[in-house]
A and B are shown apart, each in its own frame.
Chain A
């Protein structure tokens, strides 16, 4: 798969339209890597000139910040900013709402000022500009519900871009009882992804999966690699993996377009 790096582009004297920030999950997590590849296929189809940082990419520091380690976060942020500023990055797109949030809201004060897009926003703008069209035959009529990622929804008030894309797939979008601003977290945020939960009587991802299953979906659509893991595990815990798929919106679009 052709995924140019900023360094390669620079060597050729070129500057891409956008930096694709893959993020740690998108780079290393087996499930999330598929999302990265699906998104790249979409970028190729729409003829977007993009590049990644590759081995120069490092953690955004977001997980450390939510865990309370402001030192580590700012060290990571300042290092990343130095690299991105050296490449004169102007626009960033990422499939991870946590990276999206920290770039958009927390990096500017530390010297990193970029136009930042979540991949659903970016894909939507490609569609709006006529650079990409989404086929609506392949998934025709399937029942889909969308789980709002906290760091896209409540944190940044973006509820419409993902829904707009889902509607274009020609599917039957059914909302959960808690959705948009009242959506329940999948349980991964605030660095929970990296630790065992505190003692309680249920796992958050199971509770959220129950919300989703109430809509009798064939597909649970997500927009975050961590949500994807949590919901996938939740569906397994409910023994529903035979009949319910958990898919990122980028994957749904890539499938719909036969990519």
Chain B
């Protein structure tokens, strides 16, 4: 019986981590449903971006208030997790505050002191976040796509963090020995008096309960990530690493199109020639993207990384003028569809069964796609280097090249280019007339 808590702890840990690993594998599989794209170049520049943007939060601080608060939460979160290591060791081996013996009182006291201060700061920062979302109602958290789950998700995370930080401080406040030793209880010493008059037995009970809920909470949080925009705390790192490094104005040149255009324009190629014996009959590739599997894996990674912060949407000219398009929503819908495809694969024994749906129309409408000015404001704003524009462009390509479904005026514009080399109906012979008009 003596080892029952250790045993229970081990089981909790195994389940918690096991389930997390399972979800991570699924995540990896889903991202790899995307087409290949080579991002293995310029490694040092990629590491540098990751260090600045993900680790250093360089883009977050462009909006100083939320940027500053976010850094507190982020640093607090990472550093306080060192404490989780101690908790795990204590839990598995039935020890209590094992690091105290290791590090000596003064060192340990300093460490826990820092944790306590950070926990309090995180608590305050998270509370301000909550107020920004729910009381001040910062506009970007109230766009049309931020209803239901996305809205709740944002708040759940804040509650989670408040509770975890609260439990951590509670656990320290009710730890009799820790309070008596008086090392590192910089914050908890002010909470401890609340429990004056409690018997040692009940204090111990409260301390143990807080301890257990705290670690269980952390494991639940870990597993909540996969279902939440909070996945960005992990994926921001690979996402900033694999981000596009080219000039933002450079759109990809579709290689399949190049092949066909060159064939068409090469006078030496006989279009009616029968393919050589043995030459592969290649299935013509689909142009552009109508579903998530037509996108590349970086675009899918982008979708899972999106923090739903809405910085993109709050700077998008289309969103700002009431159009249906919202770049954040493009990312959210891509993720929703990818999840749906992943679940479909899971429930059909590892193979996708046509569900009669696709990303285009069922999730993202042409109206949204055609409202984009390709201005790159969303790409510039994103704190984790997501590129919503590339998805919009790939889907436009599908609409135009596979379905000839451009708006009528654009079809006219393109016909003009084909016929007279200008988007308007002017004669190419008049191209130089401007020089003599004054």
Which residues of A are in contact with B by a Cβ distance under 8 Å? 1, 3, 5, 22, 24, 26-28, 33, 36-37, 40, 52, 54-55, 57-59, 61, 63-72, 74-76, 78-79, 101, 104-106, 109-110, 150-151, 154-157, 178, 181-182, 184-185, 187-204, 207-208
- A interface footprint on B66-105 (CB within 8 Å = 1, 0 otherwise): 0000000000000000000000000000000000000000
Chain A residues positioned under 8 Å from B414 (CB to CB): 64, 67, 69, 72
Distance in Å: Cβ of A169 to nearest Cβ of chain B: 23
A150 touches B375 (CB 8 A): yes
Among B247, B371, B398, the residue within 8 A (CB) of A155 is B247
Report the count of interface residues on B (CB-CB < 8 A).
70
Among A190, A194, A198, the residue within 8 A (CB) of B423 is A194
Q: How far is the CA of A184 from the CA of B376 in the complex (A)?
A: 10
Among B247, B265, B317, B371, the residue within 8 A (CB) of A75 is B265
Whether B282 sits at the interface, judged by CB under 8 Å, is no
B417 touches A61 (CB 8 A): yes
Binds A, one of B29-37, B208-216, B251-259: B251-259
B249 touches A101 (CB 8 A): yes
Distance in Å: Cβ of B19 to nearest Cβ of chain A: 42
Distance in Å: Cβ of B390 to nearest Cβ of chain A: 12
B323 touches A27 (CB 8 A): no
Distance in Å: Cβ of A107 to nearest Cβ of chain B: 9
Q: Contacts A68-B406, A154-B380, A185-B373: A27 and B432 contacting too (C-beta < 8 A)?
A: yes
B376 touches A5 (CB 8 A): no
Which residues of B are in contact with A by a Cβ distance under 8 Å? 246-251, 253-254, 257-258, 260-262, 264-265, 287-288, 315, 317-318, 320-325, 367, 370-377, 379-381, 393, 396-401, 406-407, 409-410, 412-414, 417-418, 421-424, 426, 428-438
A110 touches B253 (CB 8 A): yes
A106 touches B253 (CB 8 A): yes
A198 touches B401 (CB 8 A): no
Q: How many A-B residue pairs have CB under 8 A?
A: 224
Chain A residues positioned under 8 Å from B435 (CB to CB): 1, 3, 36-37, 40
B323 touches A28 (CB 8 A): no
Chain B residues positioned under 8 Å from A75 (CB to CB): 261, 264-265
Among A26, A57, A63, A74, the residue within 8 A (CB) of B417 is A63
Q: How far is the CA of A69 from the CA of B323 in the complex (A)?
A: 23
Among B246, B253, B418, the residue within 8 A (CB) of A72 is B418
Among B253, B261, B413, the residue within 8 A (CB) of A194 is B413
Q: How far is the CA of A78 from the CA of B428 in the complex (A)?
A: 18
Q: Contacts A61-B417, A67-B396, A67-B406: A37 and B249 contacting too (C-beta < 8 A)?
A: no
